Structure 1
Amino acid sequence: MIVENELKLDPFEKALFIFSNRQMNRIKILHFDEGFWLYYYRLENSRLKWPMTPKEALTINKEELS
């Protein structure tokens, strides 16, 4: 699993793991809540602005995501 092997993180922790495609118009969100959930989101006419360095990455909580 990418979360364990590449990111060296625990996929069972209370976190969302967000991945984007190269075109930056699709994302997948993985999280665990008594089982794994996978969300898929596709932008039709725009692109995501994705962090390019660890300094640009954000940590957000559940309330900020809502």
Structure 2
Amino acid sequence: MMAIIRDTYEMDPYSNSLFLFCGKRCDRLKALHFEKDGFVLLYKRLDNGRFQWPRNASEVRNLTRQEYRWLCEGLSIDQPKAIKSVTNKQF
């Protein structure tokens, strides 16, 4: 997985990021994260349902921690009733 991140996507696997991969059936999720002393690999399989997963490059995006939690719970990462976080707005 580290080689895929580095060679295919030309990203730094040692960065402070969590890289997510989803199987073809969209019921399994792998996550790779580098800590100071090595890599952490997480694996989750849903018993029922599927993960919301991008179907093409235009749907790929960065996730907030909350969106990641929703994704891992098998929920949509676009929760219509969720309170949106405030970004730096100019007054």
TM value normalised by structure 2: 0.64
Instruction: Give, in whole Å, the separation in 2 of the partners of 1:17 and 1:39.
Output: 10
Higher RCO structure (Cα 8 Å, ≥6 apart) = 1
Residue of structure 2 aligned with 1:16, choices 15, 18, 22: 18
Gaps of at least 5 residues in structure 2 are: 70-91
Instruction: Give, in whole Å, the separation in 2 of the partners of 1:24 and 1:60.
Output: 17
Cα RMSD for the two superposed structures: 1.5
> Which has the larger strand fraction?
1
Structure number with bigger Rg: 2
Runs of 4+ that moved beyond 3 A? 61-66
2:6 equivalent in structure 1? 4
Q: Is residue 18 of structure 2 the alignment partner of residue 40 of structure 1?
A: no
Give the aligned length. 66
1:60 equivalent in structure 2? 63
SS in 1 for 2:42: strand
Instruction: Give, in whole Å, the separation in 2 of the partners of 1:7 and 1:17.
Output: 11
- TM-superposed CA distance for 1:60, in Å, is 2.2
